[in-house]
């Protein structure tokens, strides 16, 4: 008989998971990178050396300063500190991620659950709908939507959310289609459980690992595509410190003033890399197949 | 090397695993002999260490987390654990080969049966430095298909695994193990995944082949009935060590270790005389095993003596039991 | 017998076979083909057979996971064919599944698993904690196990929880689908002992599905042997294991690996069965067992045998029991 308490058991389980996670150095680095981005973004006004440089601030005497101790990433064409703007840029990137995935993931997962569990015409309707969305290249679709609606940050977020749900639907659909034959689902049916119970109490908890791995990997791509939209002038508009916009406006002064777009570009790379390493690590830890 | 030395001889094999909970000493000094031309069984319940033993012999144990801390595995007079990896690989699949348990997963579904079997011949030819053309290789494959009593070898040669029944696939797996004329066949729960009538056919076939080809057989299984039907000598494992070893008939007539007795009592009998006592308690935690005899916390005969690990005492010639009950003085 | 708890009358299940772009139905598989079976109160009836015999399909129809194509199910004297999937019927018939690894949801605690039937069947939530404690006690697990998750339990412990879950609604019949086939024999023995004790205490009836004939011999009062969707032989445990009459039963018994000479003596000495069970989509004409039967003769190809009552409790579906046909059988055998 076990002498440990349930609470201690739970704690042990968490420590065991951390032990396994730690043995994957790439994942630990990824986690550190993602945490750094979050901390910096949340405490941006405290962390950024020149928080006032974020808006429409102009200081032409200091424009195009190369990286230095005062301005580690240099200054841009209006004399604003690029590091400060990158830090605030992370806020926008993360808002984008939370908004897009916050809308797309629950919606996509819900449709995936329904399609996978019920099959039949429900499956046919939902899965053919995802096919339609998959047939259109993501960036083209986003361009069309934002162009049709007027280019603002909010509209680009809506466009991305519209594009993203179907990936989660497909993933959850295949997961549920195999899980629904597990004996615990049949046992719940034999006990008389409702479909609602089976969908949300039996099946959904078993999809959490795939969802979290997929969502983590997605976060990097959402940032990338969001930055791409801003780069093309269809996302956040200047002077908002958006990373894509910064790369784009800095590109006008290449190659002499290279730091104007290189540093925001590296900042994008940093987050994407962080999310991907973390996602891969989680995938190994939770032992799930995504895509 | 004298010819009466066992073909395979495992001496004091110890294997540990590094886990979150600390070091797990899974194999605690396993001794096991497979004499030439005999059929030997290694039997035990899940978690007893029989698979780790088999994997260590075959060299398929993942290291880390596992580590062989001590012991020898002598095959035909050479220690597998110290020989160069290339030499060991040459032995694997040629002199010693393996019959896997699950016929549905041990064949690759996307290649034709003949293709997969020919690959095996080609790889071993390369290792042995032999040149054979496709025709000669195919002839060998067809010959083996006939050996495993598969009529219509040409058709099976061109078939995909999915087109064949479970029993046929199991025969092919046996055939694959025989392709390179091994001397030692290691069988891991053969036929367990099959229905009882098919399993019976497969076991009979293996038995015939072992006799016809003069092979030595090491069979790993949890099924005492299969061991009784298929082997000459049995090793019973519990919690990482051999607790009893004996000629097969003798073991079933006169089980001597309390674990073996309890295990045999649990097997449902066709004559309706089963007891449902089971064995109290459960398999020990390998990271924190009980001192001395690892079975003592579950043993009805346990005494203070059992806190010291018992050596293998001879019960009768060729029959040993690692239990203090069989200490020679105890009988006096 | 009026005292039967469950009666299956000509129960059948046909699955459509679909093919092609439009999933057109091109044929049917008779997974279960006219099975008659009775289970008395407090009785343990075994259903044996190889994979593809349809034994699990019978089980799943009784608990409402599959809908019968034909036939009736009578429970406690009442025709319940139309109520098989309903809540009211699920309260009376429960099931324990085969695989302890997957019959409990890995993300839900033992208490969560036991609450499902309690909630569904309207047991007041104030009494749940007490019910869970007594259910765990009944399956000989300590109350602290309520907070555990499946990965913290051994195979035997998981199966005990699954039994507790089936007992939660106080059913009259439990379908046991290979409840111990994934367990080691030492654990199996304890679970079987538990099941027998619970049967005695609660006067339950079991339908026991298994391919393990030695276990069936010890556990079941009566046994039916199924082959390709039909019952081949039915009788008491003694009838079937001491006096097997159907060539298939004899072949099955002959192929069991046993551990003693006493058992060896009980095995029929007939020739071994050839080949494997045919696909249910392609059932042989006449007697469906004839392709593997060592005694098959001409009539077996043409006429499907009926059940021959050999005694009040024992019946076998084979032409050998028909004096008119069997007479012609002998000379054809080599």
pLDDT digits over C216-230, tens only?
999 999 999 999 999
B78 and B63 in a single domain? The answer is: yes
d(CA C327, CA C334): 15
**pLDDT given for residue B238 in this prediction:** 94
Q: Does C180 touch chain A (CB under 8 A)?
A: no
Round to whole Å and give the CA distance between A54 and A63.
Answer: 14
Q: Give CA–CA dist C145/C152, Å, rounded.
A: 9
In a domain, B69, yes or no: yes
Quote the pLDDT of residue C21.
64
Percentage of chain B lying above the pLDDT 90 cut: 27
- Residue A20 near chain B (CB below 8 Å): yes
- Residue in this structure with the two tokens 């602290």, named with its chain if needed: C144
Same domain, B110 and B215: no
Closest CA to B229 of B196, B262, B259: B196
Contact B201 C214 (CB under 8 A): no
Query: For the domain that residue B223 is a member of, what is the CATH number?
Result: 3.40.50.300
B65 shares its domain with B193: yes
Q: How far apart are CA A209 and CA A264, in angstroms?
A: 32
User: By residue range, what is the domain housing residue B24?
Assistant: 8-95+182-331
What pLDDT band is residue C107 in, cutting at 50, 70 and 90? confident
CA distance C90 to chain A (A): 6
Are B79 and B109 in a shared domain? no
Please indicate, yes or no, if residue B124 is contained in any of the structural domains: yes
DSSP state of B310: P
Residue C210 sits at the chain A interface (C-beta within 8 Å): no
Nearest-Cα distance to chain A for C114, in Å, is 10
pLDDT at A177 over 80: yes
Number of structural domains chain B divides into? 2
Domain C-terminal end among B144, B163, B181: B181
Q: Last residue of a domain, which of B143, B164, B181?
A: B181
Distance CA C128, CA C113 (A): 12
Same domain, B74 and B113: no
Could you tell me if B221 and B312 lie in one domain?
yes
All residues at 6 or more sequence positions from A188 whose CB lies less than 8 Å from its CB, including other chains:
A197, A198, A202, C105, C116
Give the residue-averaged pLDDT of C64-71. 90
B20 close contact with A: CB closer than 8 A: yes
| Entry pTM | 0.83
In this predicted structure, the answer to whether residue B243 has a pLDDT above a threshold of 90 is yes
Domains and CATH numbers, chain A: 24-286 (1.10.3720.10)
- Residues C174-180 have a mean pLDDT of 92
Say if the Cβ atoms of B197 and C276 lie within 8 Å. yes
Are C218 and B269 a contacting pair at CB < 8 A? yes
Cross-chain Cβ contact C218/B278 below 8 Å: no
The closest alpha carbon to A168, from A120, A226, A118, A116, belongs to: A116
In a domain, B42, yes or no: yes
**Residue A69: count of CB within 10 angstroms of its CB:** 5
Return d(Cα A274, Cα A41) in angstroms, integer. 15
Q: What interhelical angle do A204-231 and A82-118 show, nearest 10?
A: 140
Does residue B149 lie within any of the structural domains? yes
* Closest to A70 (Cα-Cα) out of A88, A84, A52: A84
B63 and B130 belong to one structural domain: no
**How distant is the Cα of B279 from the closest Cα of chain C, in angstroms?**
6
| pLDDT score recorded for residue C20 | 66
> A-chain residues within 8 Å CB-CB of B20?
15-16, 19-20
**SS3 state at C235:** strand
Are B227 and B201 part of one and the same domain?
A: yes
Q: Does B264 touch chain C (CB under 8 A)?
A: yes
| The pLDDT of residue B192 is above 80 | no
- Whether B34 and B141 share a structural domain: no
- Tell me: do B207 and B320 sit in the same domain: yes
State the nearest Cα–Cα gap between C120 and chain A, in angstroms.
Answer: 6
Residue at B109 is within a domain: yes
What is the predicted pLDDT for the residue at B1?
46
pLDDT attached to residue C334: 33
Size of the A and C interface in Cβ pairs below 8 Å: 72
Please state, in angstroms and as integers, the Cα–Cα distance from residue B187 to each residue in A235, B46, B65, B170, C130, following that order. 64, 16, 25, 12, 50
Count CB neighbours of A230 within 10 A: 28
Question: Token digits for A185?
Answer: 């689902």
Rounded to an integer, what distance in angstroms lies between the CA atom of residue A54 and that of residue A84? 7
Q: Are residues B187 and B43 in the same domain?
A: yes
Asked if residue B15 belongs to a domain, the reply is yes
- Residues of B within 8 A of A19 (CB-CB) are 20
- The verdict on a CB contact (< 8 Å) between C97 and A188 is no
Cβ of C281 under 8 Å from any chain A Cβ?
Answer: no
Record: contact C107-A1, CB cut-off 8 A = no
Q: Residue C116: which of A2, A182, A191 has the nearest Cβ? A: A191
- pLDDT tens for A207-240 read 988 999 999 988 888 888 888 888 888 777 777 7
Q: Which two tokens stand for residue A242?
A: 């958006």
Bridge partner residues of C14 (DSSP):
C30
Option in C90, C108, C113 nearest A192 (CB): C90
Relative to beta strand B96-99, strand B313-316 is: unpaired
The neighbour count for residue C81, using CB atoms within 10 Å, is 17
Whether the per-residue pLDDT at B218 is higher than 90: the answer is: yes
**In chain B, what is the straight-line distance between the N-terminal and C-terminal CA atoms, in Å?**
39
B partners (3+ CB pairs within 8 A) are A, C
pLDDT at B4 over 80: no
Q: Domain boundary residue among B149, B181, B213?
A: B181
A contacts of B298 (beta carbons < 8 Å): none
Query: Residue B2 falls within a domain, yes or no?
Result: no
On whether both B206 and B290 belong to a single domain, the answer is yes
pLDDT at C329: 52
Mutation for A interface: B19, B20, B298, most A CBs within 10 A: B20
Per-residue pLDDT at B245: 93
Q: What is the pLDDT of residue C328?
A: 57
The answer to whether A253 and A263 have CB atoms below 8 angstroms apart is no
* Residue among B198, B269, B273 whose CB faces C276 most closely: B198
Q: Does B276 touch chain A (CB under 8 A)?
A: no
Mean pLDDT of B188-207: 84
The answer, for A22 touching chain B at a CB cutoff of 8 Å, is no
Q: Is residue B34 part of a domain?
A: yes
Q: How many residues does chain A have?
A: 291
């Amino acid at each position: 008989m076990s002498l440990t308490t349930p609470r201690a058991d739970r704690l042990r389980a968490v420590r065991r998971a951390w032990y396994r996670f730690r043995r994957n150095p790439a994942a630990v680095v990824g986690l550190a990178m993602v945490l750094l981005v979050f901390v910096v973004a949340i405490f941006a006004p405290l962390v950024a050396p020149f928080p006032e440089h974020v808006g429409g601030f102009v200081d032409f005497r200091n424009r195009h300063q190369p990286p230095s101790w005062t301005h580690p990433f240099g200054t841009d064409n209006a004399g604003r500190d690029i590091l400060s703007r990158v830090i605030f840029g992370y806020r926008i990137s993360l808002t984008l991620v939370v908004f897009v995935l916050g809308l797309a993931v629950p919606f996509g997962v819900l449709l995936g659950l329904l399609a996978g569990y019920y099959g039949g015409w429900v499956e046919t309707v939902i899965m053919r709908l995802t096919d339609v969305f998959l047939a259109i290249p993501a960036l083209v679709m986003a361009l069309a939507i934002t162009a049709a609606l007027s280019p603002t940050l909010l509209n680009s977020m809506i466009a991305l959310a519209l594009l993203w749900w179907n990936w989660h639907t497909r993933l959850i659909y295949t997961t549920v289609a195999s899980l629904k034959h597990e004996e615990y689902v049949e046992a719940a049916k034999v006990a008389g459980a409702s479909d609602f119970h089976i969908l949300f109490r039996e099946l959904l908890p078993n999809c959490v690992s795939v969802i979290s791995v997929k969502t983590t990997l997605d976060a990097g791509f959402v940032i990338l595509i969001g930055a791409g939209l801003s780069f093309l002038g269809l996302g956040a508009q200047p002077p908002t410190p958006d990373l894509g916009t910064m790369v784009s406006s800095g590109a006008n002064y290449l190659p002499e003033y290279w730091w104007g777009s290189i540093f925001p570009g590296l900042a994008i790379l940093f987050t994407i890399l962080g999310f991907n390493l973390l996602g891969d690590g989680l995938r190994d830890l939770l032992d799930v197949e995504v895509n | 090397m004298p010819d009466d030395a066992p073909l395979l001889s495992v001496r004091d094999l110890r294997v540990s695993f590094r886990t979150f909970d600390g070091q797990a000493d899974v194999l605690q000094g396993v001794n096991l002999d497979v004499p030439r031309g005999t059929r030997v069984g290694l039997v035990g319940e899940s978690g007893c260490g029989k698979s780790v033993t088999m994997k260590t012999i075959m060299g398929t144990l993942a290291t880390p987390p596992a580590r062989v801390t001590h012991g020898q595995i002598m095959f035909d007079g050479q220690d597998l654990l110290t020989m160069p990896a290339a030499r060991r690989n040459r032995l694997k699949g040629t002199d010693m080969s393996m019959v896997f348990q699950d016929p549905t997963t041990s064949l690759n579904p996307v290649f034709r049966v003949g293709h997969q079997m020919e690959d095996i011949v080609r790889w071993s030819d390369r290792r042995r430095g032999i040149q054979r053309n496709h025709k000669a290789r195919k002839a060998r494959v067809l010959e083996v298909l006939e050996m495993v009593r598969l009529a219509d070898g040409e058709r099976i040669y061109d078939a995909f695994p999915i087109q064949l029944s479970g029993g046929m696939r199991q025969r092919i797996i046996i055939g694959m193990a025989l392709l390179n004329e091994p001397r030692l066949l290691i069988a891991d729960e053969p036929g367990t995944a099959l229905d009882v009538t098919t399993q019976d056919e497969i076991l009979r076939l293996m038995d015939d082949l072992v006799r016809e080809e003069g092979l030595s057989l090491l069979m790993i299984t949890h099924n005492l009935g299969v061991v009784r039907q298929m082997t000459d000598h049995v090793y019973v494992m519990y919690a990482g060590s051999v607790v009893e070893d004996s000629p097969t008939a003798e073991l079933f007539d006169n089980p001597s270790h309390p674990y073996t007795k309890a295990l045999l009592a649990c097997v449902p009998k066709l004559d309706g005389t089963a007891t449902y006592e089971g064995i109290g308690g459960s398999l020990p935690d390998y990271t924190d095993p009980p001192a001395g005899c690892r079975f003592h916390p579950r043993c009805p005969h346990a005494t203070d003596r059992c806190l010291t690990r018992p050596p293998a005492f001879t019960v009768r010639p060729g029959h040993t039991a690692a239990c203090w009950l069989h200490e020679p003085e105890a009988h006096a | 017998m009026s005292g039967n708890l469950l009666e299956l009358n000509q129960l059948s299940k046909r699955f459509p076979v679909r093919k092609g772009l439009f999933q057109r139905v091109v044929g049917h598989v008779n997974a279960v083909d006219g099975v008659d079976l009775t289970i008395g109160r407090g009785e343990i009836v075994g259903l044996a057979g190889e994979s593809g015999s349809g034994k699990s399909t019978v089980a799943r129809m009784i608990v409402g996971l599959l809908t019968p194509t034909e036939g009736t199910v009578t429970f406690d004297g009442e025709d319940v064919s139309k109520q098989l999937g309903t809540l009211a019927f699920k309260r009376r018939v429960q099931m324990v599944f085969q695989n302890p690894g997957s019959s409990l949801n890995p993300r839900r605690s033992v208490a969560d698993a036991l609450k499902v039937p309690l909630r569904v069947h309207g047991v007041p939530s104030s009494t749940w904690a007490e019910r869970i404690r007594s259910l765990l006690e009944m399956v000989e697990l300590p109350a602290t196990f309520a907070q555990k998750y499946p990965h913290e339990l051994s195979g035997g412990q998981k199966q005990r929880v699954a039994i507790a879950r089936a007992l939660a609604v106080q059913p009259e019949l439990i379908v046991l689908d290979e409840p111990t086939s994934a367990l080691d024999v030492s654990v199996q023995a304890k679970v079987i002992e538990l099941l027998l004790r619970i049967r005695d205490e609660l006067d339950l009836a079991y339908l026991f599905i298994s391919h393990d004939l030695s276990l069936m011999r010890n556990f079941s009062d009566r046994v039916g042997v199924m082959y390709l969707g039909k019952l081949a032989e039915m009788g008491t445990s003694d009838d079937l294991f001491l006096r097997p009459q159907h060539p298939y039963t004899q072949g099955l018994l002959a192929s069991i690996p046993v551990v003693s000479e006493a058992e060896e003596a009980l095995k029929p000495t007939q020739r071994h069965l050839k080949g494997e069970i045919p696909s249910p989509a392609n059932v042989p004409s006449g007697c469906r067992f004839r392709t593997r039967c060592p005694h098959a003769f001409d009539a077996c190809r043409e006429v499907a045998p009926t059940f021959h009552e050999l005694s009040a409790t024992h019946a076998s579906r084979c032409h050998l029991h028909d004096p008119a046909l069997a007479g012609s059988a002998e000379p054809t055998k080599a």
